[in-house]
């Protein structure tokens, strides 16, 4: 099969934004405007193309990134509609990992929102050129100019409006060609002659575009200084250079729900965003340096895997060479070759068989055991893996019955393969199975998927806090374990001294007995009894820590003494000594690093104080404040959600165990 279009006519882009900015609706309108679908769906009705998962339709939000392909003006566009909720940031991260450009959607009434900042930072790390689309200009409170100012101020970029709202009606003004735009036929824009009342607006707007291009283009600078006329083609060429070099960010206005501005956005995507070939010289995009020709050696990156009715489906981006059905490729992770049995092009939840994928293509491989982050190549090349955030929220999970217990392990392994931002562990002290994720919604959706997709019902609850006990003063106990029966008896005599130790030093055992009062052969049994007692719990049943147990004396019987007898005596002696050592309860204390905008610093510090937190250091990181603090784990249940609420989603926190301290 020959390539569908040349690489220069490919556009791989993501639709990214904060939740509820209108990404999915915009994607639906683009598909309708290009004739890919004949009727557009609604997020409210749960019938959009890209939100095909039942959990997405029931909640009215995007959970997993969905890829669709369409054609416009002889160019092939692969769009990935990404989630806007912070809990599903991994979907945005791995999408931007393989895309060449992005359309960042802003709500005209809200401007830059928290998750918009996060995806913008991710695009900055990848050096991805962007276009802004200010959506919902027909909503109450919409303010296009304020949204543009918020983007320029927040991101420190020069935002250049190309299409702006008409000030007195639901229409647009195209500043490049000086026309008025209104909606026609559902998802396309109809250009009409500009009214005389808007000519001044169009003229001054075009002058600002020329002025912005003059900052990096000598021809535009000369024309701006001399007041010379600039052709639209020359202006678009300059805008393309500025967009690809990220010196400017073009901006368009519209209403995805009304279908207004969609056609002009499509034109801007083709004219201004890069093809795979445009990205080969980008120093921030090492992967794309491989993108050259389908005749070069194969390099393809596996950026996502899912398990569905097709079995395992692995999404790949081809950077160079040709990925062919029936051919073999070397996997970077294990240096083994795999055969590509079935290769498909994905349209949301449906697939279309293809024979090959060429540079710039995003396709999927069915039925091959591959993992997220694998590189497929002819020469053993390994591309950089994904950046995955550490999980910040945890729940304890327990299967509801024996059948669920048997199926839980395989189901969890599949979920962890699909979603690298999940983590699973077993708490050695509480015995609970703990699932960790990016937020409460993330974990809630994961439990729903366990139930709906895998038929495994589990109960989720907050993990138990693993308290410990220790002593605060020296104590000594003496125990004789004597047991007589019909056969051999049991005899062991132990004198044990316990003393507190420094935090984090654990349990130690020392033999100070003299004269062989306790034979050397029985010393390990005494130590085993002590450690067993420490693990089983002290006065309140919590594991004992930071104690030194010293064997100072005892006695034995030549016939009735045994390892079992001395182990029992050691256990009893340790338990009794603990009661005399003024025991206290220790609680786990977490080390926190919190990053927040300065405007919310007071709220965060007040909340930390209410949680018995201790601030150790305040710092500055760019325009944000950093807080180094410690707080008891028991006070941090639900803290991530509270922090996001206190900072309108702009605060982040990382936690690690700092140690154990006495409960206040």
Average pLDDT of the residues in 591-609: 90
* Residue linked to tokens 């970077």: 332
> Across the chain, how many H-helices and E-strands are there?
15, 34
> H/E/C letters for each residue in 159-223?
EEECEEECCCCCCEEECCCCEEEEEECCCEEEEEECCHHHHHHHHHHHHHHHHHHHCCCHHHHHH
SS3 50: coil
Three-point CA angle 635, 637, 639, nearest 5°: 90
Q: Which ranges constitute the DSSP H helices of 586-658?
A: 601-610, 639-646
pLDDT at 2: 39
Cβ atoms within 10 Å, residue 74: 9
Q: Dihedral of CA 127/130/136/142: which sign?
A: positive
pLDDT at 622: 66
Cβ atoms within 10 Å, residue 384: 11
pLDDT at 114: 74
DSSP state of 439: S
Q: Does domain 396-461 have CATH number 3.30.70.870?
A: yes
Look up the CATH number of domain 468-581.
Answer: 3.30.230.10
> Which position has the higher pLDDT, 22 or 292?
22
Of the candidates 558, 533, 550, the residue with the CA atom closest to the CA atom of residue 494? 550
Q: Which ranges constitute the DSSP H helices of 5-132?
A: 23-33, 54-59, 89-96, 114-126
Supply the pTM of this predicted model: 0.74
Q: In this structure, what token pair is assigned to residue 427?
A: 């708490």
Least confident of 135-149, 162-176, 396-410, 424-438: 424-438
pLDDT at 3: 47
- In sequence order, what DSSP letters do the residues of 245-302 get, joined into one string? TTS-EEEEE-BTTTTBTHHHHHHHHHHHSPPGGGGTT-TT-TGGGG-S-TTSPPEEEE
**For residue 370, what are the contacts with CB-CB under 8 A and spacing of at least 6?**
302, 305, 312, 314, 331, 338, 376
**288-377 against 468-581: fold identical:** no
pLDDT at residue 1 greater than cutoff 50: no
Topology, domain 288-377: Elongation Factor Tu (Ef-tu); domain 3 (2.40.30)
* pLDDT tens-digit map of 485-509: 767 789 999 999 999 999 888 899 9
Rg, the chain, Cα only:
32
Of the candidates 107, 169, 95, the residue with the CA atom closest to the CA atom of residue 133? 107
* pLDDT tens-digit map of 351-369: 889 999 988 899 999 989 8
**For residue 219, what are the contacts with CB-CB under 8 A and spacing of at least 6?**
234, 238
pLDDT at 427: 67
pLDDT at 285: 55
Burial profile 559-571: b = 16 or more Cβ within 10 angstroms, e = fewer: eebbeebbbbbbb
Phi, psi torsion values for 340, nearest 5 degrees: -85, 95
How many whole angstroms separate alpha carbon 15 and alpha carbon 133?
10
Ordered by start, the domain boundaries in the chain are 7-194+249-279, 288-377, 396-461, 468-581, 586-662
* pLDDT tens-digit map of 633-663: 888 888 888 888 888 877 878 777 788 899 8
pLDDT at 385: 83
pLDDT at residue 203 greater than cutoff 80: yes
- Model confidence at 339, pLDDT cuts 50, 70, 90, reads very high
pLDDT at residue 251 greater than cutoff 90: yes
Look up the CATH number of domain 586-662.
Answer: 3.30.70.240
**Per DSSP, which regions of 390-529 are E strands?**
393-399, 423-426, 433-437, 458-461, 468-471, 475-483, 490-500, 507-511
- Model confidence at 287, pLDDT cuts 50, 70, 90, reads low
**Architecture, CATH, for domain 7-194+249-279:** 3-Layer(aba) Sandwich (3.40)
Of the candidates 199, 160, 197, the residue with the CA atom closest to the CA atom of residue 179? 199
């Amino acid at each position: 099969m020959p390539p569908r279009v040349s690489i220069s006519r490919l556009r791989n882009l993501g639709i990214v934004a904060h939740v509820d900015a209108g990404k999915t609706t915009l994607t639906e309108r683009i598909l309708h405007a290009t004739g890919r679908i004949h009727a557009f769906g609604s997020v409210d009705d749960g019938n959009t193309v890209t939100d095909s998962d039942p959990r997405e339709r029931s909640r009215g939000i995007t959970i997993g990134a969905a890829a669709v392909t369409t054609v416009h003006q002889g160019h092939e566009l692969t769009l990935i509609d990404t989630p806007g909720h912070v809990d599903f940031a991994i979907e945005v991260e791995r999408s931007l990992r393989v895309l060449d450009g992005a359309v960042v959607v802003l709500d005209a009434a809200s401007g830059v929102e928290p998750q918009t900042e996060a995806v913008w930072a991710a695009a900055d790390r990848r050096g991805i050129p962007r276009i802004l689309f200010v959506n919902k200009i027909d909503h109450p409170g919409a303010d296009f100019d304020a949204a543009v100012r918020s983007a320029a101020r927040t991101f420190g970029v020069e935002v250049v409006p190309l299409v702006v709202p008409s000030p007195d009606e639901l229409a647009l003004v195209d500043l490049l060609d000086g026309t008025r735009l209104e909606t026609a036929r559902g998802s396309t824009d109809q250009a009409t002659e500009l009214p005389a009342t808007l000519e001044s607006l169009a003229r001054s707007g075009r002058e600002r575009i020329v002025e912005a291009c003059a900052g990096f283009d000598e021809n535009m600078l000369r024309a701006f200084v001399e007041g010379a006329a600039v052709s639209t083609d020359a202006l678009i060429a300059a805008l393309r250079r500025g967009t690809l070099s990220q010196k400017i960010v073009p901006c368009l206005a519209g209403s995805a729900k009304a279908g207004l501005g969609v056609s002009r956005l499509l034109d801007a995507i083709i004219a201004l965003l890069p093809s795979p070939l445009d990205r080969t010289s980008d120093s921030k995009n090492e992967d794309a340096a491989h993108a050259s020709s389908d005749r070069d050696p194969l390099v393809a990156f596996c950026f996502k895997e899912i398990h569905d009715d097709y079995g395992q489906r692995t999404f790949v981006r081809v950077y160079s060479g040709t990925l062919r059905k029936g051919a073999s490729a070397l996997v970077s992770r294990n240096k083994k070759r795999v055969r590509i049995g079935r290769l498909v092009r994905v349209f949301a939840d449906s697939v279309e068989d293809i024979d090959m994928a060429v540079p710039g293509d995003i396709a999927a491989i069915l039925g091959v055991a591959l993992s997220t982050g694998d590189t497929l190549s002819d020469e053993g090349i390994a591309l950089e893996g994904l950046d995955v955030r550490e999980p910040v929220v945890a729940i304890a999970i327990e299967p509801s019955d024996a059948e669920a217990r048997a199926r839980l392990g395989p189901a969890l392994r599949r979920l962890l393969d699909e979603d690298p931002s999940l983590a699973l562990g077993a708490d050695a002290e509480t015995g609970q199975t703990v699932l960790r994720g990016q937020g409460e919604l993330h974990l809630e959706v994961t439990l729903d998927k366990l139930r709906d997709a895998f038929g495994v019902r589990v109960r989720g609850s907050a993990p138990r806090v693993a308290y410990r006990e220790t002593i605060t003063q020296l104590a000594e106990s003496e125990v004789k374990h004597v047991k007589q029966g019909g056969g051999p008896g049991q005899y062991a005599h132990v004198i044990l001294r316990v003393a507190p130790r420094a935090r984090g030093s654990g349990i130690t055992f020392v033999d100070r007995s003299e004269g062989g009062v306790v034979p050397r052969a029985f010393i390990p049994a005494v130590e085993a009894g002590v450690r067993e007692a420490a693990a089983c719990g002290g006065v309140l049943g919590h594991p004992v820590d930071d104690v030194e147990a010293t064997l100072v004396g005892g006695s034995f019987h030549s016939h009735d003494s045994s390892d079992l007898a001395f182990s029992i005596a050691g256990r009893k002696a340790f338990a009794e000594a603990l009661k005399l050592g003024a025991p206290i309860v220790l609680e786990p204390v977490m080390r926190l690093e919190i990053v927040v905008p300065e405007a919310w610093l007071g709220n965060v510090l007040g909340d930390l104080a209410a949680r018995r937190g201790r601030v150790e250091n305040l710092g500055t990181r760019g325009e944000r404040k950093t807080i180094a603090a410690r707080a008891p784990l028991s006070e941090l249940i639900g803290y991530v959600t509270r922090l996001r609420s206190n900072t309108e989603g702009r605060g982040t926190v990382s936690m690690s165990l700092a140690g154990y301290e006495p409960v206040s």
